[in-house]
Structure 1
Amino acid sequence: MLRIVVASPSFSRHPVLRQELLAIFPQTQFFDGEKVLAGQALLDHLAAAEIALIGTEKIDGTLLAALPKLKFIAKYGVGLDNIDLEACRKNGVGIGWTPGVNARCVAELTLGFMLGLTHNVFHTTTLLRQGTWHKRGGVQLTGKTVGIIGIGHVGREVIRLLAPFGCILLGNDIEDRNAFCREWNVKLTDKGAIYASADIISLHVPLTPETHHLINTAVLARCKPGAFLINTARGSVVEQAALQAALESGALGGAALDVFDPEPPTDLEFLGQQKLVASPHIGGNADEAVLAMGRSAIAHITRRKKQYFPIQI
C-alpha cells in the first residue's frame, strides 16, 4: 500500500479535500499543525512518504536526498518556486502539477485592485472609518493604458476581464503570445514601453532569477508619474524598499500587493502606507479555487504522472 503523506496544513484542515483523499487512500497521513513545516520538522513528517502532497513547503536537494522512499510530489497550488525541479529530476521524484488551476480567481482580485485603486475606494474607505468625508472619486478604469507583464494563465484571464473597459492594453512575455494578443487587441511591446506609458502595471510573472526584483529603483524611475502598480504574482518580483520610496515620494499613485517577501510580512511601517493596498496572499484562495487546487493534487496522486513543465502562473 502506498504511503501518502500530506504536508500542507491548509489542505489537511480542509474538511472536503481531506475526506475526498481519504475516500481513495484511507491510510493517508495528514499534518494538523498551523504553521508551514520546514527543515527537520518537514523531514521528520515526510520520512516514510512515498508520495507527498505539499503546498508552499520548501523542497530542495538536501531534503530529497534524505527521503529515499519519496517517489512523487503532488503540488497543492500553482507556483513551483518552492521546489527544486533539477533536484527532483536527479532523485527520480515525479511532480504532479496543474498550471493555471486558480488563474480566474487571481485575475478577479487583480481587476478588483484596478477598480479600487483608480476609483480611490481603499483610501476613502479608510478616511470614512476615521470620520472624514472625503469625496474624491479618483478616475475611471475605462480607457486607461494597462500594461500586463506576463501573459501566462493569469495574465490572459486579466486581459479577458478587461475587455468591457475599453482599455489600451500593452503586453510583454518571454513566450510567443502573438495569436492571443491579436485576438484580444493587445499590443506586444518591451517592458520599457510599458513602464513609460502605462497608467496601471500589473505583474503576472513567475519568480525566477530573471524576475527577482524585476521592479526596482531604476525601473520605478522610468514609470509614468502617478501610475499604479499591482503585484499578484510573487513578492520578490518587486523590491520592497524601492516601492516604498516611490510611494512616499509620490512617483507612483498607489500600489496593490497580494504577495510579499517574506510571508507573512513583518514590516508594519511599510504596510501602513497611505497609498498601499495589501491583502494576505488571498488571490488564489477563493473557495472554488481552493477546491480546484486540492482536487487537482488528488487527481495527480491517483494518476502519478510525472510533469516537468516550464513554470507558468
Structure 2
Amino acid sequence: MPKVLITPRSFGKHSDEAKRILTAHGFEVVTNPYGRILTEEEMKKEIVDVDAVIVGVDPLNADVLAFAKNLKVISKYGVGTDNIDIEYCKANNIPVTITRNANSDSVADFTFTLMLAIARRIVEIDKSCRAMDWGKKTSIGIYGKTLGVIGTGAIGKGVIKRAYGFDMTVLAYDMYQDDQLAKEYNVNYVELEQLIRESDFITLHLPATPETTNMFSEKEFSTMKDTAVLVNTARGELIDEDALYEVLKNKKIWGAGLDVFKKEPPEKKELLELDNIIVGAHAAASSVDAVNKMSLMAVENILANFK
C-alpha cells in the first residue's frame, strides 16, 4: 500500500473529502504528528518510507530528501517552493506540483484586510476599548489613495481588483507586465523606485529568491512616505526586519501588516511590542474555502503524478 505524508495542519480541517479520496485510491495516510512545522530532523524521520508527500512550509532540502528512498511525487500545499530543493527533485525525477490559485482570493482578502486595519488602527482601538478607554484615535483613509502592488500574479491581481472598488490609483511593478490587467483596471506599471516613493500603500506578492531577499531595507524605507503602509502576505525574506523595526519604532512610516516573517515566530521579537504593526501567523490562506480547495487540489496533483 503506497504511503502519503501530509504535513500542513490545516489540510482537510473542514472536510474529510480529500483524505477519503486518498484512501479510496489505496493510500495509507500519515498526518503531521507534531502539531507544528516540522524540523529537518523530524522531516528526515517521517519521510523515510513515504511514496508521496503533501507539504506546507516544512523543510525539503537535499539533506532531507536524501532520506526519502521511495518518494515519487511532492505536492506543495500552496505555491511557494522555496522550502523544496527543486534541483534535487529534477535530478532524481521527483515531480513537484503546486496548488496554483487555490488560495488567491483568500490571500487577497487578507491583504486588503491588513491595509484597512493598519490605516484605521483597528487593533489599537479595539485594545483601548477593552481597557474601557473610549478616547478617539485619529487614523488615515484608504479610499482614493495610491496603491503600489509589487508582483501582479494571481494574488496581486486580486488585490488590484479589490482596490478598484476603493477608487485607488494603482501602480504596479513586475518583471512580466499584464497588459490586459493594466487596461481593464487602469494599472500603471512603473519602476520600483517610483512605486515606493509615490505609494500610500505598498503590498508585496513575490517569491523569495536571491534577487528579492531584503528588497525592502533601509534605502527603500527612507524613500517611503511617512504616512505609507507596508503589507506583506508573501514571504518574510522580502523585508529586512531590523530595518523595518527601526522605521516603525521611529514612526518613519504609518505602519505595517505582516503575515509572514523570515522565521515564524519571528526572531525580532521587538516587532511584536510595537503598536503600529499587525502580525499574522502565516494565516492569509487559512479560510474555509481556500483550505478545502487546496486540500482537494493537492490530492489531485498526487493522483495525476503518482507512478
Bigger shift: 191-200 or 18-27? Answer: 18-27
Instruction: List per-residue Cα deviations over 1:209-267 (Å, max 9, x = no partner).
Output: 11111110111001112211111111111111111110111110111111112112244
- Give the distance between the partners of 1:48 and 1:111, measured in 2 at CA: 42
Indicate conservation of the 8 Å contact 2:12/2:295, yes or no: no
Task: Please state whether the residue corresponding to 2:114 is helix, strand or coil.
Answer: helix
Bigger shift: 46-55 or 199-208? Answer: 46-55
- Give the distance between the partners of 2:15 and 2:146, measured in 1 at CA: 43
Please tell me the residue identity of whatever aligns with 2:4: I
Instruction: List per-residue Cα deviations over 1:20-56 (Å, max 9, x = no partner).
Output: 4323334233333313222232122111122222111
- Give the distance between the partners of 2:161 and 2:117, measured in 1 at CA: 18
Structure 2 equivalent of residue 29 of structure 1: 30
Please tell me the residue identity of whatever aligns with 1:254: G
Task: Please state whether the residue corresponding to 2:28 is helix, strand or coil.
Answer: coil
Structure 1 equivalent of residue 3 of structure 2: 3
Structure 2 equivalent of residue 99 of structure 1: 100
Q: Structure 1 pair 115/6, CA: closer, same or farther in 2 (3 Å)? A: closer
Task: Please state whether the residue corresponding to 2:183 is helix, strand or coil.
Answer: helix
The percentage of aligned residue pairs carrying the same residue is 29
Indicate conservation of the 8 Å contact 1:65/1:91, yes or no: no
- Give the distance between the partners of 1:121 and 1:40, measured in 2 at CA: 41
Structure 2 equivalent of residue 293 of structure 1: 294
Bigger shift: 54-63 or 9-18? Answer: 9-18
Q: Structure 1 pair 58/127, CA: closer, same or farther in 2 (3 Å)? A: same
Bigger shift: 140-149 or 265-274? Answer: 265-274
Bigger shift: 286-295 or 115-124? Answer: 115-124
State the TM-score, normalized to the length of structure 2. Answer: 0.93
Indicate conservation of the 8 Å contact 1:6/1:12, yes or no: no
Instruction: List per-residue Cα deviations over 1:177-196 (Å, max 9, x = no partner).
Output: 22211211010001101111
Post-superposition offset of 1:97: 1.3
Task: Please state whether the residue corresponding to 1:236 is helix, strand or coil.
Answer: helix
Bigger shift: 157-166 or 54-63? Answer: 54-63
Structure 1 equivalent of residue 50 of structure 2: 49
Indicate conservation of the 8 Å contact 1:12/1:31, yes or no: no
- Give the distance between the partners of 2:31 and 2:256, measured in 1 at CA: 38
Please tell me the residue identity of whatever aligns with 1:176: Q
Bigger shift: 176-185 or 222-231? Answer: 176-185
Please give the residue correspondences for 1:127-146 in structure 2 after superposition, counting only pairs within 5 Å: 127-146=128-147
Bigger shift: 170-179 or 101-110? Answer: 170-179
Q: Structure 1 pair 274/15, CA: closer, same or farther in 2 (3 Å)? A: same
Please tell me the residue identity of whatever aligns with 1:3: K
Task: Please state whether the residue corresponding to 2:113 is helix, strand or coil.
Answer: helix
Bigger shift: 208-217 or 262-271? Answer: 262-271
Structure 2 equivalent of residue 274 of structure 1: 275
Structure 1 equivalent of residue 111 of structure 2: 110
Structure 2 equivalent of residue 246 of structure 1: 247
Instruction: List per-residue Cα deviations over 1:59-101 (Å, max 9, x = no partner).
Output: 1122223323212111112211111111110111111212221
State the TM-score, normalized to the length of structure 1. Answer: 0.91
Task: Please state whether the residue corresponding to 2:54 is helix, strand or coil.
Answer: strand
Please tell me the residue identity of whatever aligns with 2:36: K
Bigger shift: 13-22 or 272-281? Answer: 13-22
- Give the distance between the partners of 1:13 and 1:164, measured in 2 at CA: 32
Structure 2 equivalent of residue 255 of structure 1: 256
Indicate conservation of the 8 Å contact 1:7/1:46, yes or no: no
- Determine if the alignment matches structure 1 residue 224 to structure 2 residue 202: no
Indicate conservation of the 8 Å contact 1:9/1:32, yes or no: no
- Give the distance between the partners of 2:34 and 2:12, measured in 1 at CA: 9
Post-superposition offset of 1:12: 7.2
Post-superposition offset of 1:305: 7.3
Post-superposition offset of 1:164: 1.1
Post-superposition offset of 1:13: 6.3
Structure 2 equivalent of residue 211 of structure 1: 212
Indicate conservation of the 8 Å contact 2:10/2:286, yes or no: no
Please tell me the residue identity of whatever aligns with 1:187: N
Indicate conservation of the 8 Å contact 1:231/1:256, yes or no: yes
Structure 1 equivalent of residue 164 of structure 2: 163
- Give the distance between the partners of 1:238 and 1:232, measured in 2 at CA: 11
Post-superposition offset of 1:4: 2.5
Structure 2 equivalent of residue 264 of structure 1: 265
- Give the distance between the partners of 2:251 and 2:6, measured in 1 at CA: 46
Q: Structure 1 pair 9/136, CA: closer, same or farther in 2 (3 Å)? A: closer
Q: How many pairs are equivalent?
A: 306
Post-superposition offset of 1:120: 2.6
Structure 2 equivalent of residue 189 of structure 1: 190
- Give the distance between the partners of 1:302 and 1:33, measured in 2 at CA: 26
